Amino acid sequence: MDRPLRVALITYRGTPHSGGQGVYTRQLSRALARLGHSVEVLSGQPYPEVDEGVRLTEVPSLDLYRQPDPFRVPGRSEFRDAVDVLEFAVMCTAGYPEPLTFSLRAWRALRGRRDIDVVHDNQCLGYGVLGIARSVAPVVATIHHPITVDRRINVADAPGRWRRLSVRRWYHFAAMQARVARRIPRILVPSEAMRGDVARAFRIPPRRITATPLGVDTDVFRPLPHVPRVAGRIVTTASADIPLKGLDFLITAVTRLRSTHPHAHLVVIGRAREDAPDGVQFRSGLTAEEIAELYAQAHAAVVPSLYEGFSLPAVEAMASGVPLVATRGGALPDVVGADGEAGLLVEPGDPEALRAALARLLDDAPLRERLAACGRRRALERFTWEATARATEAEYRAAIAARSGRLPAR
């Protein structure tokens, strides 16, 4: 029997209740610990929540983007070392420093450690990760989706030449991530669709990339028959300030839908916007249990993203027994299945298609019941965190064996 592993899971930010990286960090570390492994999470702010039995090591940054004071100017006493100076300097030049500066701090925190078998990088891909791989332990990295997609969509969405230049500067770290990714022998992605996209975007041989689907906490996200449905309620998880998530298209769709279905209204789990029209409300800072209750109240859930590497919200809605509308962006067809199997699929960026799919769901109770049952079954059969942890463990052991010469490198 293989001995338990000592795993260091590094994530440059771990927002507990929103954002895929924070959810991934908590759920994967929990599942690995339940398999008997020793797991230490190293994170910058905002720090993730971890379960009992998982060790959290805080790796503090200057926290330059914290709410409600993003892009803040730190006091002189806050600067501790050269990495802090670098972090502030990159921000002042309109770049995004966290992947680089966190990786350097994580390398410093792990340097000299001999009690770690493998380091798992949660899409930091900063230069410090290469130092960790050389001097600490073999590294396995997860790439949720190519950041180059975010850059392309955000540049296209930016108004004016100077704003586009500023967005390109913000994503300057993408070149570093590609260089680092090409030097890591084992890469995990959450879907087969991402295997091809990441290979092309980062110029990595596909043989070095393994598709490891993510999971859902079915103890939390499950049908709640005691919670009454709210007439016309539609739920989505999408940040208003991230064009990739397609929220503007969904808001347009719901606004049109209300002309024929006046009870239709949208609840957005995400950061609020000031110009939300009638029938749209925002909720943020919710626990997983509160999100599950919102799903239980809904007649439909929507993932309007232009592109997704996986989509935890889609799987959470499916596990909750909520009929789903999703786009065909990125890996969403891999997650949801063929059109009509566990949800209705539409082309990304098409508000009229979203409106029509939502109208169809609101008008057809038998369709809602069929999609809800199929989605719940698909989530239980395909997307569990235990399966994710076991597949990840196999990659850890292969990386360790390759480092020791017992297995050829990819």
Instruction: Please tell me the distance from the alpha carbon of residue 273 to that of residue 295, in angstroms, as a whole number.
Output: 21
- Given a cut of 70, whether residue 17 has pLDDT beyond it is no
- Given a cut of 90, whether residue 285 has pLDDT beyond it is no
* Cβ neighbours, 10 Å, residue 1: 3
State the DSSP code for 158: S
- Given a cut of 80, whether residue 366 has pLDDT beyond it is yes
State the DSSP code for 3: P
The per-residue pLDDT of the chain, averaged, comes to 94
Identify each DSSP E strand in 44-123 by its residue range.
Answer: 54-58, 118-122
How confident is residue 276, by pLDDT bands cut at 50, 70 and 90? confident
Contacts 24+ apart (CB under 8 A), 256-260: 256/351, 256/352, 256/355, 257/355, 257/358, 257/359, 257/362, 260/359
Provide the pLDDT for residue 18: 59
Provide the pLDDT for residue 407: 67
Average pLDDT over residues 147-152: 93
Provide the pLDDT for residue 21: 86
Which strand ranges, in their side-by-side order, compose the sheet holding 280-283? Answer: 280-283, 265-269, 233-237, 300-303, 324-327, 344-346
Domains, the chain, ordered by start: 6-215+385-404 (3.40.50.2000), 233-382 (3.40.50.2000)
- Given a cut of 90, whether residue 273 has pLDDT beyond it is no
How confident is residue 409, by pLDDT bands cut at 50, 70 and 90? low
Average pLDDT over residues 247-275: 93
Decide: helix, strand or coil at residue 187.
strand
Average pLDDT over residues 71-80: 96
- Given a cut of 90, whether residue 325 has pLDDT beyond it is yes
Instruction: Please tell me the distance from the alpha carbon of residue 351 to that of residue 349, in angstroms, as a whole number.
Output: 6
How confident is residue 240, by pLDDT bands cut at 50, 70 and 90? confident
